């Protein structure tokens, strides 16, 4: 019986680990990188030449979003910035997210009415369902934005090192940015696409500093804004751009190490609630429980 229980436990743990790895972002990233490396560009374009599935869903969501009245210009610009920072740059992204909100509200209200939860409180429960359906996609979008910003922040030191190497061998800053965007296409696709956007903006006539400032506004990262400030000061005072980039790259490495040390220092504090509310009561039951039962068994007859 012991071996049967042990084997069952090991099989369950292995299955859970496989499911967590398969559903986690790391496995998806590794699989997507390998597919981009091994699959030729022609096959990637032949796989879905028209993109009918994604465009059809986007068109449906945009059509649903047009049902709602138009929002204020400030709200639309805020939603557009949030979508761009989350990685959605389509023209109909704002209307699509409004369509998602409307569908979530309708789905949750229908679920509340179909399951009978509306009988508990005919006013409060539908209002909570509508609020959850309306603000739920925004919370999801905010989490996507923070995850993308985290990936950009982690990939920035590697890009800075590569940028320093490209500038040292004699490339101009514009050509170095283009080279970095090409080299990071597989390892860091988000930062590669952002740098490629900077190069496209400079090709159409935008000044380099303005394109980099637009990059900082698009990503919302303070590290990129600080890089733009360094490049502006370097261009204004005529200092060595290689030395400035190398100093800023070392500073980014130091900040990332300090951020990791800060996260490791928070682990002990975060473990306190789990220890107090989950582990300590179980220890008290195991250690003090038999003593309490013995005391009750001995003293209770004498008290009678």
Q: What tokens appear for 177 in the block?
A: 């940015």
Of residues 41 and 1, more confidence is placed in 1
Query: Whose CA is closest to 181, among 192, 168, 194, 167?
Result: 192
Q: What is the pLDDT of residues 67-112, one digit of tens each?
A: 666 665 566 677 788 888 888 877 777 788 888 888 888 888 888 8
Domains, the chain, ordered by start? 151-259 (1.20.81)
Look at residue 274 and give its three-state secondary structure: helix
Q: What is the pLDDT of residues 166-225, one digit of tens each?
A: 888 888 888 888 888 888 888 888 888 888 888 888 888 888 888 888 888 888 888 888
pLDDT confidence tier of residue 42, bands split at 50, 70 and 90: very low
* Alpha-carbon span 86 to 108, nearest angstrom: 25
Which whole number is the average pLDDT over 20-35?
54
- Is pLDDT above 50 for 230? yes
pLDDT of residue 113: 81
pLDDT of residue 184: 87
- Is pLDDT above 50 for 226? yes
Give one DSSP letter per residue of 135-169, joined into a string: HHHHHHHHHHHHHHHHHHHHHHHHHHHHHHHHHHT
- Of 9-13, 97-101, 280-284, 287-291, where does mean pLDDT reach its minimum? 9-13
Query: Whose CA is closest to 246, among 237, 236, 254?
Result: 254
pLDDT of residue 216: 85
Q: What is the pLDDT of residues 118-149, one digit of tens each?
A: 777 778 888 888 888 888 888 888 888 889 98
Q: What is the pLDDT of residues 157-166, one digit of tens each?
A: 888 888 888 8
- Is pLDDT above 70 for 62? no
């Amino acid at each position: 019986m012991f071996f049967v229980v042990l084997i069952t436990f090991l099989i369950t743990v292995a299955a859970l680990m496989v499911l967590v790895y398969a559903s986690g972002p790391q496995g998806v990233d590794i699989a997507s990188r390998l597919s981009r490396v091994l699959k030729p560009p022609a096959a990637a374009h032949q796989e879905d030449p028209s993109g009918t599935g994604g465009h059809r869903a986007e068109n449906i969501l945009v059509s649903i979003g047009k049902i709602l009245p138009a929002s204020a210009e400030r709200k639309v610009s805020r939603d557009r910035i949030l979508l761009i920072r989350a990685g959605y740059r389509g023209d109909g992204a704002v209307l699509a997210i409004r369509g998602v909100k409307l569908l979530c509200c309708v789905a949750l209200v229908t679920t509340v009415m179909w399951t009978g939860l509306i009988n508990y409180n005919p006013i409060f429960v539908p209002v909570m369902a509508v609020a959850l359906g309306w603000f739920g996609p925004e919370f999801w979008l905010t989490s996507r934005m923070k995850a993308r910003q985290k990936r950009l922040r982690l990939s920035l030191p590697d890009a800075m090192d590569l940028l320093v190497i490209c500038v040292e061998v004699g490339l101009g800053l514009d050509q170095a940015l283009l080279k970095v965007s090409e080299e990071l296409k597989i390892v860091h696709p988000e930062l590669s696409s952002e740098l490629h956007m900077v190069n496209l903006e400079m090709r159409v006539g935008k000044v380099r500093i303005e394109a980099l400032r637009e990059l900082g506004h698009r990503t919302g990262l303070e590290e990129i804004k600080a890089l733009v400030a360094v490049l502006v000061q370097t261009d204004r005072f005529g200092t060595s751009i290689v030395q400035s980039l190398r100093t800023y790259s070392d500073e980014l490495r130091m900040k990332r190490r300090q951020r990791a040390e800060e996260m490791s220092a928070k682990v002990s504090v975060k473990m306190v609630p789990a220890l107090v509310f989950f582990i300590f009561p179980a220890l008290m039951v195991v250690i003090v429980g038999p003593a309490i039962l013995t005391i009750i068994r001995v003293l209770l007859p004498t008290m009678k």
